[in-house]
């Protein structure tokens, strides 16, 4: 199963778990009826954060309306566990782990950071 398919399954799992609507914008995946934005990050061993997306979600959270949901998935796309986490906590984790790095993608010059899934459930 592809990473993209596992990510889609994780997003729909979170939508059902928290009664959210799929919106899939460039910087968040889901939204509550009250307008709170949620970005789902999923992976088996690690999750990737994009700096520009993170900046947008963090500024949204200044008003108390932004969350990440980290989902650890299995190879077949099942959900092992999940955790809601504020963007500011992710900022501290990224700083603790060396900060942002250039992505190396030809499509974008944005910076990224991979973090081990285990750090969110530690």
Directed axis angle between helix 87-96 and helix 51-61, to 10°?
140
Global pTM?
0.92
Indicate the pLDDT class of residue 40, thresholds 50, 70 and 90: very high
- The domain tally of the chain equals 1
**pLDDT band at residue 4, thresholds of 50, 70 and 90?**
confident
- According to the model, what pLDDT value does residue 59 have? 87
Q: What is the CATH number of the domain that holds 41?
A: 3.40.1350
Can you list the alpha helix ranges (DSSP code H) found in 1-122? 3-18, 51-61, 87-96
Which pLDDT score is estimated for 122? 76
Q: What is the mean pLDDT of residues 20-35?
A: 93
Give the residue-averaged pLDDT of 4-16: 93
16 phi/psi in degrees, rounded to 5 = -70, -40
Helices (H) and strands (E) in the chain, counts: 3, 8
For 56, the domain range is: 3-120
The 8-class DSSP code of residue 19 comes to T
């Amino acid at each position: 199963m592809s990473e993209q398919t596992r990510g889609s399954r994780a997003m729909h799992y979170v939508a059902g778990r928290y009664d959210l609507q799929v919106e899939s914008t460039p910087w968040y995946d889901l939204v509550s009826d009250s307008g709170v934005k949620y970005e789902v990050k999923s992976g088996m061993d690690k999750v990737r954060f994009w700096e520009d997306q993170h900046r947008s979600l963090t500024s949204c959270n200044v008003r108390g309306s932004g969350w990440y949901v980290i989902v650890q998935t299995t190879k077949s796309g099942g959900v092992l566990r999940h955790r809601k986490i504020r963007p500011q906590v992710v900022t501290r984790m990224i700083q603790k782990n060396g900060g942002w790095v250039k992505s190396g993608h030809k499509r974008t010059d944005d910076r990224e950071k991979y973090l081990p899934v285990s750090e969110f459930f530690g």
